[in-house]
């Protein structure tokens, strides 16, 4: 599918020149900063040097005082506390964070965690979970990364005499559950200064507030930021404002002192300690052989933590995250890694089936959206499949399967299209739904599926422009290869952590030619490039272009082309080298 390149509007030249002078940096870098809303020395200082002092007072969040009061009451009265979280990475890291903090103040026998079973209980607070809390004497349940729409279930819990504190970051419905406290900065009546926290981030604000009330060292709370960084990356929330600060310091912790569970997962991802013995001094600096990035958390750590909840019990992911013994963590990580391998087999097979179904159905192929159902597909991987179909056909996509008496599904969207609103428009046909602008979950009765598919397609057709169905690639700036100097790269690295709201800059270079050393790799699916700009052989760069192997013959023939790319570091066989990660090529 042809991709449209959207080249950013040229930044204000006066601001660029002024910033370049005051920071003593290349004007291209200054332009990138201005594009990101950074145009003064002080703004640049905050951008390049995130500070924990930039974090907001947690008591600015509505109901925070009520939540802390209730936890203190439970602690003083020796009540049993149940920590309840969603089965994805955000939920399990949030549970691990709260459990790790509270176990310092609560008797071990008085605290427990609970992750609902994806297949038996489904998403969010379940009646089974409430019954478990009531039957086992838990007076307080702290819910993480779900619960904002569980109005009837909270009423049921109130009847059972079980108090709930809800920590969520999803969009509320029309009615807020009648819990003791509901922490969600997306509440219309909440005036917290930042709305984009992850579920784990909301949990972090809760323990920050509790720590302040208890008069405990704030450093104990900051030691939990590695959990928050993993959740921010895996849940793909914007890395702006508070999230940028939380991700920055969380990554520092992960690189300096990874927990046994995280380190065991990294070893299964072929990232090891500088010293091979995993039990050596945990406080040594730069403990890993290379620096972890947000991408590592997204592609290496996140899927493995997710795998347990997708195929079996997500409680194993929490046990992995809170493990203090490396041998135990390694045992759990091995099991979870095996599940992740099995998960890959499932999602690859289901993706192939789904693509074949779309290809064979003319009506489905020509639609503006994809709504596809197979009762035998594995519920744990349909979200991944929805993402793959969205990448292939580039349109709003819902993948559905059977779950008990209901049909359940995962939705993924494309840029600028709010799939939550599209699903909400069909809510009278649904049993449950929730999520974000670009990702959501839903369930419905089988007899409602045909009408839901029809109405969803109608809504999409009426609210999406034809040009929005063409993939776009945002290009930040044009660059010549001779401008990629060591100083340029060194400063560019400090723009990280990269993610939504602060994406890695995409550069465009014209008149590129092969040096004669490029080759097709991976069964000729991908390109391993060695390129220069025409008539300038002094500056050559290595690059990788995934899924571009079909262009090899033209590149090998030294036909000039333009290419868009990220600048990144590639670690291989103990060496780190500069690499251009090529996103698109046009001749």
Question: Mean pLDDT in the chain?
Answer: 94
Per-residue confidence (pLDDT) for residue 262, from 0 to 100: 96
pLDDT at 487 over 60: yes
Q: 307-310: long-range contacts (C-beta < 8 A, 24 or more apart)?
A: 307/336, 307/337, 307/339, 307/340, 307/342, 307/343, 308/336, 308/339, 309/87, 309/88, 309/92, 309/115, 309/118, 309/380, 310/118, 310/339, 310/343, 310/378, 310/380, 310/381
CB proximity list for 174: less than 8 A, separation 6 or greater: none
- What integer pLDDT is reported at residue 279 of this predicted model? 52
Average of per-residue pLDDT across 208-236: 97
Q: Where residue 436 falls among pLDDT bands split at 50, 70, 90? A: confident
The answer to whether the beta carbons of residues 529 and 518 sit under 8 Å apart is yes
pLDDT score of 137: 98
Peptide bond into 337 cis (omega under 30): no
Query: Residue 462 pLDDT more than 70?
Result: yes
- The encoded tokens of residue 277 equal 């013995």
Q: In the 8-state DSSP scheme, what is residue 301?
A: I
Note the pLDDT tens digit of each residue in 346-369.
999 999 999 999 999 999 999 999
| Helix (H), strand (E) counts: the chain | 22, 19
**236 vs 435: CA distance, rounded Å:** 13
Judge whether 549 and 582 are in contact, CB under 8 Å: no
In contact, 304 and 336? CB cutoff 8 Å: yes
| Per-residue model confidence (pLDDT) at position 401 | 97
Q: What pLDDT, in 10s, does the model give residues 514-555? A: 999 999 999 999 999 999 999 888 899 999 999 999 999 999
Q: By three-state DSSP, how is residue 553 classified?
A: helix
Residue 281's pLDDT band (boundaries 50, 70, 90)? Answer: very low
Mean pLDDT (whole number) for 500-525: 95
435 or 52, greater pLDDT: 52
Residue 149 structure tokens: 């729409």
Instruction: Tell me the sheet residues that pair with 84.
Output: 114, 143
- Residue 176 predicted with pLDDT over 50: yes
- Other CB atoms within 10 Å distance of the CB of residue 226: 25
Residue 310 confidence (pLDDT): 85
Structure tokens at 533: 């700009």
- The pLDDT score that the predictor gives to residue 119 is 80
Q: Which of 83-87, 295-299, 329-333, 534-538 has the least mean pLDDT?
A: 534-538
Q: What was the pLDDT predicted at 135?
A: 98
Structure tokens at 470: 């063409």
The helix or strand, by DSSP H or E, that contains position 483, with its residue range, turns out to be none
pLDDT band at residue 275 using 50, 70 and 90 as cut-offs? low
Please, which residues bridge with residue 579 across strands?
Answer: 568
pLDDT at position 101 over 90: yes
Helix axes 382-393, 326-360, angle to 10 degrees: 50
pLDDT band at residue 283 under the 50/70/90 scheme: very low
Mean predicted confidence (pLDDT) in 492-513: 96
C-alpha closest to that of 368 among 454, 471, 451, 457: 457
Neighbours of 527 (CB within 10 A): 26
Distance (Å, rounded) from C-alpha 509 to C-alpha 534? 11
Identify the structural domains of the chain with CATH numbers, from first to last. 4-49+473-586 (2.40.50.460), 50-222 (3.90.1640.30), 361-469 (3.10.310.30)
Please determine, for residue 183, whether its predicted confidence score (pLDDT) is greater than 50. Answer: yes
Give the rounded percent of residues in the chain with a pLDDT score beyond 70.
98
3-state secondary structure of 378: coil
């Amino acid at each position: 599918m042809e991709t449209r390149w959207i080249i950013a509007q040229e930044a204000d030249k006066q601001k660029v020149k002024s910033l370049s002078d005051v920071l003593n940096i290349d004007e291209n870098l200054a332009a990138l900063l201005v594009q990101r809303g950074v145009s003064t020395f002080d703004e640049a200082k905050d951008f390049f040097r995130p500070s924990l002092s930039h974090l907001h007072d947690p008591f600015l969040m509505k109901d925070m005082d009520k939540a802390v009061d209730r936890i203190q009451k439970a602690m003083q009265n020796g009540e049993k506390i149940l920590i309840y979280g969603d089965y994805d990475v955000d939920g399990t890291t949030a549970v691990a964070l709260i459990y790790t903090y509270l176990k310092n103040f609560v008797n071990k026998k008085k605290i427990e965690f609970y992750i609902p079973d994806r297949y038996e209980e489904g998403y969010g607070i379940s009646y089974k979970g409430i019954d478990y809390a009531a039957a086992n004497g838990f007076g307080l349940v702290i819910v993480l990364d779900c619960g904002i729409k569980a109005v009837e279930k909270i009423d049921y819990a109130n009847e059972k005499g079980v108090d709930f504190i809800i920590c969520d970051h999803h969009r509320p419905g029309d009615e807020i559950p009648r819990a003791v406290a509901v922490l969600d900065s997306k509440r219309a009546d909440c005036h917290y200064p930042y709305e984009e926290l992850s579920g784990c981030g909301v949990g972090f604000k809760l323990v920050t507030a509790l720590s302040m009330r208890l008069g405990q060292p704030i450093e104990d709370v900051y030691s939990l930021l590695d959990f928050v960084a993993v959740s921010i990356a895996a849940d793909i929330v914007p890395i702006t404002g508070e999230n940028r600060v939380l991700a920055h310091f969380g990554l520092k912790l992960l690189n300096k002192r990874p927990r046994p569970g995280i380190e065991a997962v990294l070893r299964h991802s072929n990232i090891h300690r500088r010293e091979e013995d995993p039990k050596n001094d945990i406080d040594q600096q730069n403990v890993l052989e290379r620096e972890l990035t947000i991408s590592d958390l997204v592609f290496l750590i996140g899927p493995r933590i997710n795998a347990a909840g997708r195929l079996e019990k997500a409680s194993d992911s929490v046990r992995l995250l809170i493990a203090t013994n490396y041998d135990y963590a390694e045992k759990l990580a091995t099991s979870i890694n095996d599940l992740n391998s099995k998960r890959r087999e499932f999602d690859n097979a289901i993706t192939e089936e789904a693509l074949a179904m779309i290809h064979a159905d003319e009506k489905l192929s020509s639609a503006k959206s994809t709504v596809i159902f197979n009762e035998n597909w594995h519920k744990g991987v349909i979200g991944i499949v929805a993402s793959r179909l969205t990448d292939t056909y580039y349109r709003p996509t819902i993948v559905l399967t059977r779950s008990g008496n209901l049909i359940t599904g995962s939705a993924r969207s494309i840029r600028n299209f709010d799939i939550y609103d599209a699903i909400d428009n069909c809510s009278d046909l649904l049993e449950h739904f929730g999520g974000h602008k670009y990702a959501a979950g839903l369930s419905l009765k089988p007899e409602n599926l045909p009408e839901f598919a029809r109405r969803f397609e109608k809504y999409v057709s009426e609210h999406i422009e034809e040009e929005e169905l063409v993939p776009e690639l945002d290009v930040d700036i044009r660059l010549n290869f001779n401008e990629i100097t060591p100083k340029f790269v060194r400063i560019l690295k400090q723009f990280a952590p990269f993610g939504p709201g602060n994406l890695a800059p995409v550069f465009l270079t014209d008149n590129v030619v092969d040096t004669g050393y490029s080759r097709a790799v991976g069964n000729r699916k991908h390109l391993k490039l060695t390129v220069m700009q025409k008539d300038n052989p002094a500056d050559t760069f290595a690059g990788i272009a995934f899924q571009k192997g079909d262009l090899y013959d033209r590149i090998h023939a030294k036909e000039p082309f333009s290419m868009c790319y990220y600048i990144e570091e590639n670690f291989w066989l103990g060496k780190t080298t500069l690499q251009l990660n090529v996103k698109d090529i046009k001749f």
